[in-house]
Amino acid sequence: MAAPTGSCFHCGEQLGRTQIFATINEERQPVCCEGCRCVAELIASSGLGDFYRYRDGVTVRPEATLSSPDAWDAYRNDAVARGFIRQTAGGYQATLAVEGLRCAACCWLIDRSLRQLPDVHEVSINAATARAHVEWSGDRTTLVAVLRTIAALGYRPHPLTPASIDLSAQNERRGALKRLAAAAFGMMQVMMFATSIYAAQIAGEVMDPGIVHFFHIVSLLVTTPLLVYVGAPIFLSAWTSIRHRSIGMDVPVSIALLLAYIASVWNTLHADGQAAVYFDSVTMFLFFLTLARFVQMSIRQRTAALSDALARQLPAYAHRSVDGEIEDVPLAELQRDDRLLVKAGEVIPADGILVDSDAHVDESMLTGESLPVAKRAGDQLAAGTLNIDGPLHMMVRTSGNATILSHIVALMQRGQALKPAMMRNADAAAAKFLRVVLGGAALTCIAWWVIDPTRAFTATVAVLVVACPCAFAIAAPSALAAATAHLAHLGVLVTHPDALEALARIDRIVFDKTGTLTRGDVRIERCTALSNLSSARCLEIAAALELASEHPLSRAFRMVDRPYVATAIQVFAGRGVEGIVDSHRYRIGTPEFVAELRGASTSAAFAEAQAGTLVCLGDEHHELALIQLCDTPRENAASAIAQLRRLGIESEILSGDGESPVVATAVYCGVAEFHARQSPEQKLAHVLSLQRADHHVAMVGDGVNDAPVLGASNVSIAMGRGAALAQASAGLVLIGEDLDALPKAIMIARRMGRIARQNLIWAALYNVGSLPLAALGVVPPWLAAVGMSISSLAVMLNAMRLLPRHVPRQSTRSRAECLPVVTRTGELPRGAALS
C-alpha cells in the first residue's frame, strides 16, 4: 500500500504518491484528484479563497457526476423548471436543499458564489436546515445556472417544489421561541411581585393588604394569557394522551398547572389578600417546561432534515423516449412499458428492465454491495439505484408504491414498529407519581376538612405545588440535552432521544462492513504476478490503463506511480480497458475479457476469481497478473473494537459482501464473529435472534439495505457519509466517521444514564419528602415555590456535569468540529469553532 504523503487541500482525503496541485493564491497546494483541483481553483479564482481559512473541518469531495455538463439539463426545460420556481413581482424565487452543507463557511461560500451570478439579488442560506433561498430577476440567470454554481463548489443541490418546502419546521421553531420568550417575560413579571410579598413575609413586615391584592390581580392578568398561549401545546398534548387512554407526562403537569391556577384565581377573587396564590409557581413551571421542550425541539429539528432524504434519492423527473424524441416527464406520469433514457450518473427512476445490451449499476443503497453490478439486456433494474457508466435505455415495469425501494421502506417501518419504547418508562413512573400526589392531596383535603375546614383548600393546593413534578419533568431531558451537546463535540449526532438511553445498555454491537469498518474506498490488496513480469511493473501498466477508466474500481490505481502512458485506449463498459503501453497491447478487466485478447479460455487461476474483487491483467500471449482489490479498513477500527471490548461489548460483522473480504476485515479489526453474504432479511432475523437471547444490540450501518436492521436494533448508528436512508432511520449518526467516538459515546451514554437516575431519585426524594410537610401545613407557600425552583436548579446543575469539561481548540483532524447541534440553537455554551 502506498504510504500517504499528506492530505488533500480541499477535501482532506489521503493523497497517493501521484500528486496533482492546485494553485491557490499563487501557492501550490496538493489535492487528491482533478475534481478537487477544479473546485479549489474555482473557489480561489472567484476571490473566495478565505473559505479555506474559516471553514470547520474539511469539505466534501466533489463527485465527478455533479459537474458534468448534462447533470442539470432536465431543469433547462421550462416546464420542469417551472415546478421549482415561484414567480414574484420582483423576479423569480427558488428554494434548494443543499446536501453536504456542513458549516457556516460552506454557507458563506455558496452565498458569495451565487451573488456573482448576474441579476441575483437575494441569497439566504440557513446552515441549520441546509436550505438555500435564491431570488433573481431577469433572464440572464436560470435555475440551471444556480444549480451548476452550487454543484461546481462540490455540494449537491436539490431543488424543492413549493409544496415540498417544509415551512412547518420553521414555524414550529419560531412558535417555540416565542412561547419561551413569553414564558420568560411573564415569569419575571410575576416573580417580581411574588418576591416583594415573600420579602415582606420574611422580614416580618405587614404589607398593605390593598397593595398585596393589587399585586395578585396584576399577577392574574399576566398569568392568564400566558397560561393560554404558552400552555396550549401542553394542554393539547395532555388531552390527546387522555383521549388515547394513556397517562403521559403532560397529564400530571397539566393538572398541577390548572389546579394551582384555579386555586390562585379563587383565592385572589374571593379572599381578602391573605390567602396564598401560586401564580409565581405557575409561571415558573411554565417557563421550565417550555425551556426543556425548546431544547429538545432544537435537537430534533437539526436532524429532521435527514429524514426527508429518501425522497431525494428518486429524481423528480424522468426522460421518456417517445418515437425517438426525448421528453422530461414527472415521475407520477410514468406508465408501464414507457421507454426511458437514464443518463450516466443518474438515479434510475422506476423499476424496469434493461433494453440496452449492458450497463453497470450501483446498487449499494439497496444491497449494500459497494461494487457496481453488471446488467445485461432483460435484467431487472431497481428504482433508486445509480446508473454509473454510459446512458442506458430501460422499459418501465412498475413505479411508485410497487418499487423495490418502497419495499425496503416498508420493511424499515416494520422494523421501527418493533422498537421498544424506552421513553414510556419515564411516563409510567410519572403516572405512578401522579397517583401518589393526587392521593396525597385528597388525603390532605379530607384530613384538614375534619381538623380545620378553613385551611383545607390551601393545604391541598400547597401539596400540589410543592409536589409539582417540575424537577421530575426536566430530570431526564436536561441530562439528555447536556449529553447530546457533549456528543456533538465528538461528532456524534443524536437523532432519536431514546437512542442514548438504549446505548447505555448495549452489550453487543453489530457492524456492517463496507463503509463502517472500512472506508468504502477501494484499494489494491495484492498483486500476484503470473508470468516473468514483476508485480510492480504489472501494477504500473494497470495504472496507466485504468487512468482512462471512470469505473469506480479504477480509483484504486490512483495510488500507483505512472511511469507509462497508455495510448489507443478503449473502454469496454462493464468489462475492462484495452490499450497500448510501451508498444504492447494489454487488457485489464474481467478474466473473460482479458482471455479474449489472446483467444484462449480463462485459466484455472482466473476461474477462482470472484466477480468484482479480482481484476486481471493480460497481453496478447499471457495472463500477467491477478490484482485483488479491497476496501481500506478505517485506521481506528481495531482500536475502537478493542475499547468496546474493554467496556464489555462484543462486536460482530454482518455483511452483504463475499466471504473473503469479510474474513479479512474481521481479522484486521479483531472481530471473532462474522457472517458474510447476508441479505437485509437475514440481517434483520439475526438481530432479532440476538435480542431474543436478551442481548441489547447496537447496529452500525451505512447503506439503505441496513435501514430495516437499523430500525429493529436497540440502537442504530449510521456513518456520516453513508446512504441518506440509513441516516434517516438511525438513532445516532457518526458525522466525523470517527469510530473512536463510538466507545466514548457509550461511556457518555452510561454517565447520562447515571446522572438521569440521580436526577430522578433526587426529584422523587424532594417531591415525596416535601409532600408530608406540605400536607401537615408546615411549608408556607413561598417556601414551596422556592423549594420547587431549587429542586429544578439542582437537577439542571447536575445535568451540566455532562457537558464537556474544557472546550477543545479546533482540531484540523476532526470533522466532528463541524458545528455541534445544540450550540447552534444557542441553548448551551458552544465551543471555540474559530481557530
Partner 1 sequence: MSILFLLVPLSLGLVVFAGWGFFWAVSSGQFDDLESPGWDVLQENGRSEPIDEHS
What is the spatial distance between Cα 408 and Cα 415, in angstroms, rounded to a whole number? Answer: 10
Q: Residues touching partner 1: how many (CB under 8 A)?
A: 36
Residue 824 binds partner 1, judged by CB under 8 A? yes
Rounded to whole angstroms, the Cα distance separating 335 from 397 reads 8
167-196 footprint of partner 1 as x/- string (CB under 8 A): ---x--xx--xx--xx--x---x-------
Q: Which of 6, 214, 240, 414 binds partner 1 (CB under 8 A)?
A: 214
DSSP state, residue 324: T
> Are 458 and 276 in contact, with CB atoms under 8 Å apart?
yes
Please confirm, yes or no, whether 512 is among the known catalytic residues: yes
Nearer to partner 1, 294 or 593 (CB): 294
Binds partner 1 (CB under 8 A): choice among 2, 218, 242, 783: 218
Strands 567-572 and 576-581 come out as antiparallel
Q: Among the candidate windows 118-126, 412-420, 701-709, 753-761, which touches partner 1 by CB under 8 A? A: 118-126
3-state secondary structure of 526: strand
- Determine which one of 250, 512, 619, 740 is catalytic: 512
Residue in 115, 336, 598, 813 binding partner 1, rule: CB under 8 A: 115
Q: 617 - beta bridge partners?
A: 588, 625
536 phi/psi in degrees, rounded to 5: -60, -40
Told to check if 229 binds partner 1 by CB under 8 A, we report: no
Q: Which is nearer to partner 1, 225 or 378 (CB)?
A: 225
State the minimum distance, in angstroms, from the CB of residue 108 to partner 1: 5
762: its cell numbers = 433526587
Residue burial 295-314, b: 16+ Cβ < 10 Å; e: rest: bbbbbbbbbbbbebbbebbb
Question: What is the x/- site pattern for partner 1, positions 73-112, by CB under 8 A?
Answer: -------------------------------xx-xx--xx
CB of 819 to partner 1, least distance (A): 7
CA atoms within 13 A on the CB side of 657: 29
We find the least distance from the C-beta atom of residue 175 to partner 1, in angstroms, to be 9
Position among 2, 14, 30, 54 found at the interface with partner 1 (CB under 8 A): 54
Q: How far is the CB of 398 from partner 1 (least distance, A)?
A: 41
Site for partner 1 in 256-285 (CB under 8 A): none
Residue 375 corresponds to which cell in the numbers above? 446488467
Torsion of CA 466, 470, 476, 482, to 10 degrees: -120
Rg of the chain, C-alpha, whole Å: 32
DSSP one-letter string for 219-269: HHHHHHHHHHHHHHHHHHHHHHHHHTT---THHHHHHHHHHHHHHHHHHHH
Neighbour count for residue 19 (Cβ, 10 Å)? 12
Which three cell numbers mark 106?
A: 460552506
Smallest distance from the beta carbon of 109 to partner 1, in angstroms?
Answer: 10
Q: Residue 536: how many CB atoms within 10 A of its CB?
A: 11
Spell out, one character per residue from 7 to 46, where the chain touches partner 1: x when CB under 8 A holds, - when not: ----------------------------------------
Cα–Cα–Cα angle for 331, 337, 343, nearest 5°? 55
Cell numbers of 495, please? 437523532
228 near partner 1, judged by CB under 8 A: no
Member of 24, 97, 222, 502 binding partner 1 (CB under 8 A): 222
Contact by Cβ (8 Å): 419, 730: no
Task: Please give the residues from 120 up to 159 whose contact with partner 1 meets the rule CB under 8 A.
Answer: 124-128
**Shortest distance (Å) from residue 755 CB to partner 1:** 28
Cβ neighbours, 10 Å, residue 567:
11
Continuous H helices in 491-578: 498-503, 535-546
Candidate residues 27, 78, 139, 208; the one interacting with partner 1 per rule CB under 8 A: 208
Stretch of 208-216, 419-427, 464-472, 701-709 lying at the interface with partner 1 (CB under 8 A): 208-216
Residue ranges in contact with partner 1 by CB under 8 A: 47, 50, 54, 104-105, 107-108, 111-112, 115-116, 124-128, 170, 173-174, 177-178, 181-182, 185, 189, 208, 211, 214-215, 218, 221-222, 819, 824-826
Active site residues: 512
